[in-house]
Amino acid sequence: MDTTGVSVAAFVAGVAPAKRRRDADTLIALMRDISGREPEMWTSGIIGFGRCHYRYSTGTEGDMPLLAFAPRKPASTVYLDEIAAHTDALAALGPHTSSVSCLYLKDLELVDMGVLRGILQSCFDATIAGGPPGAEITITG
């Protein structure tokens, strides 16, 4: 995955529906605060903060943001390290759905932002500390 050079502000201005655009602004502020980094557009409409290079013992490697989300029409997709690591916090979050490493939020006004902040901080800290077992993480931005 790589950055695109597209303006984050221009991309967010075109996000629909309006609720998703509002949520994108909120997530940008939250992830900027947690990461201390400015947002960049990545491929597939992903807004990412910071950058790292990962390499697994299997030989799989690539680049990814330290924190990221994508404002999709049906829901905002927040990318996490792994859902299973946040079971207790997710129980207190409010309305959401999830997959292996994605958290889907239809309306940030309905979730506990303190809980969401804690989940994102935990993901960020885990990545900075070296990522998942079997991976080698190098922070590059």
Report the pLDDT value the prediction gives residue 94, as an integer from 0 to 100.
97
The answer to whether residue 129 scores a pLDDT higher than 80 is yes
- Judge whether 69 and 89 are in contact, CB under 8 Å: no
Residue at 28 is within a domain: yes
The separation between CA 91 and the C-alpha centre of its own chain, rounded to angstroms, equals 19
Q: Which domain holds residue 122?
A: 8-139
Distance between CA atoms of residues 25 and 111, nearest Å: 15
The answer to whether residue 33 scores a pLDDT higher than 90 is yes
Lowest average pLDDT, out of 26-30, 37-41, 78-82, 134-138, goes to 134-138
Distance between CA atoms of residues 76 and 55, nearest Å: 27
Amino acid identity, residue 95? P
Q: What is the mean pLDDT of residues 12-40?
A: 97
Residue at 3 is within a domain: no
Both structure tokens of 107: 């309306």
For residue 101, the SS3 value is coil
Report the pLDDT value the prediction gives residue 31, as an integer from 0 to 100.
98
Residue at 2 is within a domain: no
Residue 16 burial (CB < 10 Å; 0-12/13-18/19+)?
A: exposed
Give the chain's length. Answer: 141
Report the pLDDT value the prediction gives residue 39, as an integer from 0 to 100.
98
Report the pLDDT value the prediction gives residue 133, as an integer from 0 to 100.
73
Report the pLDDT value the prediction gives residue 8, as an integer from 0 to 100.
98
Q: What is the mean pLDDT of residues 51-76?
A: 93
CATH at residue 48:
3.90.1150.200
Q: What predicted TM-score, i.e. pTM, was given to this entire model?
A: 0.94
Residue at 23 is within a domain: yes
Report the pLDDT value the prediction gives residue 132, as an integer from 0 to 100.
73
> Into how many domains does the chain fold?
1
Which residue from 52, 118, 50, 64 is spatially nearest to 86, judged by alpha carbons?
118
How far, in Å, are 34, 50, 71, 79, 118 from residue 93 at the CA level? Answer: 18, 25, 19, 15, 10
Q: What is the mean pLDDT of residues 39-66?
A: 93
Report the pLDDT value the prediction gives residue 1, as an integer from 0 to 100.
83
